[in-house]
Structure 1
Amino acid sequence: MSHRLPRGPRLPAWTATLTWKAAVFITVMCCALAALLGALVHVSVTNQTVGQARDHALTRLDDATEAFEAGDDLGPGAGVDPAGLPERLRKLAAGGERGTMVDTRDSRPTMWAAGPATDGRAIAVRVDYAQGARTIDGLDRAILGSSVLAIGATLLVGAFAVTRVTRRLHQTATVARRISAGDLDARVNDPRTRDPSRRQDEVAAVAGALDTMASSLQGKLQSEQRFTADVAHELRTPLTGLHAAAELLEPGRPTELVRDRVAALRTLTEDLLEISRLDAKSERVDLDDHHLAPLAERAVRGSGVGAELVVVRDVCVVTDRRRLERVLGNLIANADKHGRPPIVLTVDGPVVSVRDHGDGYPDYLVEHGPQRFRTEGTTRGHGLGLTIALGQTAVLGARLTFANAADGGAVATLTLPYEETAGNGARGSDGAA
Structure 2
Amino acid sequence: MCCALAALLGALVHAAVTTQTVDRAREKALGKLAEVTEAYEAGEPLPPYAGVNPPGLPDALRELALRGEHGTMVSTHQDRPTMWAAGPADGRALSVRIDYTLSARTITGLDHAIVGSSVLAIGATLLVGAFAVTRVTRRLHLTAQVARRISAGDLDARVNDPRTADPRRPQDEVATVSGALDTMASSLQNKLLSEQRFTADVAHELRTPLTGLSAAAELLPEGRPAELVRDRVRTMRSLTEDLLEISRLDAGRERVDLDVYELGRLAERVVRASGTETEVRVVRDTAVETDRRRLERVLGNLVVNAHRHGRGPVVLTVDGPVVTVEDRGPGYPAYLLEHGPARFRTEGGSGKGHGLGLTIAVGQAAVIGAELRFLNAAEGGAVARVKLAHACPAQPAHGMTHGIPQGT
TM-score if structure 2 supplies the norm length?
0.92
Question: Number of matched residues?
Answer: 401
| Contact 2:287–2:392 (CA under 8 A) maintained in structure 1 | no
- 1:170 and 2:170 aligned: no
Counterpart of 1:11?
Answer: none
Counterpart of 1:50?
Answer: 22
Counterpart of 1:386?
Answer: 358
**Over residues 181-234 of structure 1, what are the superposed CA-to-partner deviations in whole Å (9 max), with x where a residue is unaligned?**
221111111111112343311111111111101111110111111011101101
Counterpart of 2:386?
Answer: 414
| Contact 1:313–1:426 (CA under 8 A) maintained in structure 2 | no
Counterpart of 2:376?
Answer: 404
| Distance in 1 separating the partners of 2:286 and 2:209 | 45
Counterpart of 1:25?
Answer: none
**Over residues 354-383 of structure 1, what are the superposed CA-to-partner deviations in whole Å (9 max), with x where a residue is unaligned?**
111111111111111101011121232100
Q: Following TM superposition, by how much is the alpha carbon of 1:415 offset from its aligned partner in structure 2, in angstroms?
A: 0.7
- The structure 1 residue matched to 2:153, chosen from 182, 196, 202, is 182
Counterpart of 1:32?
Answer: 4
| Distance in 2 separating the partners of 1:208 and 1:390 | 32
Counterpart of 1:125?
Answer: 96
Counterpart of 1:5?
Answer: none
Counterpart of 1:207?
Answer: 178
CA shift in 2, pair 1:379/1:161, >3 Å: farther
| Contact 1:295–1:325 (CA under 8 A) maintained in structure 2 | yes
TM-score if structure 1 supplies the norm length?
0.87
| Distance in 1 separating the partners of 2:373 and 2:28 | 91
Counterpart of 1:367?
Answer: 338
Counterpart of 1:239?
Answer: 210
- 1:71 and 2:43 aligned: yes
CA shift in 2, pair 1:422/1:389, >3 Å: closer
CA shift in 2, pair 1:389/1:429, >3 Å: farther
Give the percent of matched residue pairs that are identical in Structure 1 and Structure 2: 73
Runs of 4+ in 1 over 6 A off after TM superposition: 422-426
Counterpart of 1:294?
Answer: 265
| Contact 2:75–2:81 (CA under 8 A) maintained in structure 1 | yes
Counterpart of 1:111?
Answer: 83
Deviates most, 97-106 or 391-400: 97-106
| Contact 2:284–2:318 (CA under 8 A) maintained in structure 1 | yes
CA shift in 2, pair 1:166/1:427, >3 Å: farther
| Contact 1:312–1:428 (CA under 8 A) maintained in structure 2 | no
| Distance in 2 separating the partners of 1:232 and 1:150 | 70
SS at match of 1:35: helix
- 1:267 and 2:238 aligned: yes
Q: Following TM superposition, by how much is the alpha carbon of 1:419 offset from its aligned partner in structure 2, in angstroms?
A: 4.8
Listed as ranges, the gaps of 5+ residues in structure 2 are 397-402
Q: Following TM superposition, by how much is the alpha carbon of 1:335 offset from its aligned partner in structure 2, in angstroms?
A: 0.8
| Distance in 1 separating the partners of 2:142 and 2:250 | 26
| Contact 2:331–2:376 (CA under 8 A) maintained in structure 1 | yes
> C-alpha root-mean-square deviation of aligned residues, in Å?
2.0
**Over residues 398-432 of structure 1, what are the superposed CA-to-partner deviations in whole Å (9 max), with x where a residue is unaligned?**
111100111111111111112555779864465xx
Q: Following TM superposition, by how much is the alpha carbon of 1:36 offset from its aligned partner in structure 2, in angstroms?
A: 1.3
1:368 counterpart letter in structure 2? H
